[in-house]
C-alpha cells in the first residue's frame, strides 16, 4: 500500500466515524423496560466453554423468573451461530442471521467468543464483542468489583465503542517497515460514558468519580476524553472528581492505603479492559466477575474471561466455572427491573463462593461441574 492509498483509506475511516457521531446525536432516551409487555432475553453460548457455562446461567434465570415466564412477561430466546467456525465461514464478526436475531431481543446473556490473533489458524475477522458493541451501540461497559473485607467497592465505566479498539481491524500497513493503528475519541462518545458514570454515582450514593487516561502523553484523544469528563463533573458538584494516569492507577489498585478511596472510575476502552481484569483479581479472578454492556436500546451481559478452547479439547468444559456469567446474570436482572431476584442471586453466590464453600470449582474432575455448582446456587436461593 502506498502513501496515497493509505490516505484514501484514512479518509474513508474518518467519514465512517463522522456518520457514527451523527447517529449518536440522534439517540433517543433509554428504553424503559417497565413499559414493555414482554422482555425478550437472548441467550448466546459463543465458543469453547461458553455454551456450557451460559446454559447454567440460563437455567438459574429461568428458575428465578419462572412466574414471569409463565405469565408471558419474560421470554428466553436461544440464539445459535455466534461461533468462530460460523463467523469464519461467512467472513463476518457477526453473521447477518445472528445479528437479526440479536436485534429482536431487549437484553442478551452472552458466553465468551474467540477472537483470532496473529498466528492463529483463523482469518483476521473482527472481535464479535467489539462488533456487537458497535452494531447495538453498547457504549458503556460496566464492571463492579466488591471485596468488603478489604474495603474495595469499585464500579468501572469503560467506554466501549471508541478508543484503540474501535478500528482494531482497520490498521494500515504502509510497507514492510511501517504500520499504523488508530485511536478514536469523540465529544458525544466521551460525554455519554462520563454522564452514565456520574448518574450511577448519584443514584447509588457514591461520593467520588475518577477518570483514568494517559492525557499527559496521548494528548489529543486522551486529552479530549479527560476534558469532557471534567466538563461533565462540573454538573455534579456534590460528587468529588479527580483523575489519574493509567500507569500509576494500576499501581494504586494494589496500594492498600489508597485503593479504598476509589469508587466509580471512567476509562477509555483499552485502559478499561486492562484495569478491570486487574481489579477482578482482588475478587477471586476474572472467572468471578460479570460484565454489563449498556446502550439506550439494547444491553448485553457477559462473562469477562475467554473461551478456554483447551478445556474443551481436554474434555473439561463441564468443569468450567460459571461464576462470571452468573454474576453477569445478576446485573441483567437488576437492569431489567427485577431487583429482588438480583439481590437473591447475588447473596446466594456470596454464600456459595465465600461463606459455605460446600462445592469448589477447580476446572477439573477434582472439583464440581458447572451444573452441580448451578444446582448448589439454586438450592441456596431457596434457603434465603
Q: What is the DSSP letter of 208?
A: E
76 DSSP β-pair partners? 41
Q: Which CATH homologous superfamily contains domain 1-30+139-282? A: Isopropylmalate Dehydrogenase (3.40.718.10)
d(CA 223, CA 241) in angstroms, rounded, equals 16
Residue of 197, 184, 105, 191 lying closest to 142 (CA atoms): 197
Does pLDDT of 329 surpass 90? yes
Burial class (CB in 10 A: 0-12, 13-18, 19+), 170: middle
Q: Tell me: the pLDDT tens digits for 258-295? A: 999 999 999 999 999 999 989 989 987 776 778 899 99
Question: With 80 as the cut, is the pLDDT of residue 254 above it?
Answer: yes
Res 95: pLDDT = 97
For the chain, the domains span 1-30+139-282, 31-135+295-384
Grid cell in block for residue 48: 469453547
How large is the average pLDDT for residues 224-244?
A: 98
pLDDT tens-digit series, residues 141-193? 999 998 888 999 999 999 998 999 888 878 888 888 998 999 999 999 999 99
Q: What is the CA radius of gyration of the chain?
A: 21
Percent with pLDDT over 70 in the chain: 99
* Mean pLDDT, all residues of the chain: 94
Task: Please report the pLDDT score of residue 117 as a whole number.
Answer: 78
Predicted pLDDT of residue 218: 96
Q: Do domains 1-30+139-282 and 31-135+295-384 have the same CATH topology?
A: yes
Would you state the pLDDT for residue 245? Answer: 98
Structure confidence at residue 120 as a pLDDT band (50, 70, 90): confident
Do residues 93 and 109 lie in contact, with contact meaning Cβ atoms separated by under 8 Å?
Answer: no
Measured CA to CA, the distance from residue 354 to residue 144 in angstroms comes to 17
**pLDDT score of 3 more than 90:** no
Q: How confident is the model at residue 130 (pLDDT cuts 50, 70, 90)?
A: confident
330: pLDDT strictly greater than 80: yes
Enumerate the β-bridge partners of residue 44: 79, 110
Specify the CATH class of 31-135+295-384 in words.
alpha beta
What's the pLDDT score for residue 59? 98
- Averaged pLDDT, 113-139: 87
Amino acid at each position: 500500500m502506498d502513501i496515497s492509498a493509505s490516505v484514501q483509506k484514512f479518509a474513508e475511516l474518518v467519514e465512517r466515524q463522522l456518520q457514527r457521531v451523527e447517529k449518536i446525536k440522534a439517540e433517543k432516551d433509554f428504553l424503559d423496560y417497565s413499559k414493555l409487555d414482554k422482555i425478550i432475553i437472548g441467550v448466546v453460548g459463543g465458543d469453547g466453554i461458553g455454551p456450557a457455562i451460559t446454559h447454567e446461567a440460563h437455567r438459574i434465570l429461568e428458575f428465578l423468573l419462572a412466574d414471569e415466564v409463565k405469565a408471558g412477561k419474560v421470554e428466553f430466546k436461544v440464539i445459535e451461530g455466534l461461533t468462530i467456525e460460523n463467523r469464519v465461514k461467512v467472513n463476518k464478526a457477526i453473521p447477518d442471521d445472528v445479528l437479526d436475531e440479536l436485534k429482536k431481543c431487549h437484553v442478551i446473556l452472552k458466553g465468551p467468543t474467540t477472537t483470532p490473533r496473529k498466528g492463529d489458524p483463523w482469518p483476521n475477522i473482527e472481535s464479535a464483542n467489539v462488533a456487537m458493541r458497535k452494531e447495538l451501540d453498547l457504549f458503556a461497559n460496566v464492571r463492579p468489583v466488591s471485596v468488603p473485607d478489604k474495603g474495595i467497592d469499585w464500579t468501572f465505566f469503560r467506554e466501549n465503542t471508541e478508543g484503540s479498539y474501535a478500528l482494531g481491524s482497520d490498521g494500515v500497513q504502509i510497507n514492510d517497515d511501517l504500520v499504523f493503528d488508530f485511536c478514536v475519541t469523540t465529544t458525544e462518545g466521551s460525554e455519554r460514558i462520563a454522564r452514565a458514570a456520574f448518574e450511577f454515582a448519584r443514584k447509588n450514593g457514591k461520593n467520588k468519580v475518577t477518570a483514568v487516561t494517559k492525557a499527559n502523553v496521548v494528548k489529543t484523544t486522551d486529552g479530549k476524553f479527560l476534558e469532557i469528563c471534567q466538563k461533565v463533573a462540573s454538573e455534579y458538584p456534590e460528587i468529588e472528581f479527580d483523575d489519574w494516569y493509567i500507569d500509576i492507577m494500576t499501581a494504586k489498585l494494589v496500594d492498600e492505603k489508597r485503593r479504598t478511596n476509589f469508587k466509580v472510575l471512567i476509562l477509555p476502552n483499552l485502559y478499561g479492559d486492562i484495569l478491570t481484569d486487574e481489579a477482578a483479581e482482588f475478587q477471586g479472578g476474572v472467572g468471578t466477575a460479570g460484565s454489563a454492556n449498556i446502550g439506550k436500546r439494547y444491553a448485553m451481559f457477559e462473562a469477562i474471561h475467554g473461551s478456554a478452547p483447551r478445556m474443551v479439547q481436554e474434555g473439561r468444559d463441564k468443569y468450567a466455572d460459571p461464576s462470571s456469567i452468573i454474576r453477569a446474570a445478576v446485573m441483567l436482572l437488576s437492569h431489567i427491573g427485577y431487583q429482588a431476584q438480583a439481590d437473591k442471586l447475588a447473596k446466594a453466590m456470596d454464600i456459595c463462593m465465600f461463606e459455605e464453600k460446600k462445592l469448589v470449582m477447580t476446572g477439573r474432575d477434582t472439583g464440581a461441574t458447572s451444573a452441580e455448582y448451578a444446582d448448589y446456587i439454586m438450592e441456596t436461593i431457596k434457603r434465603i
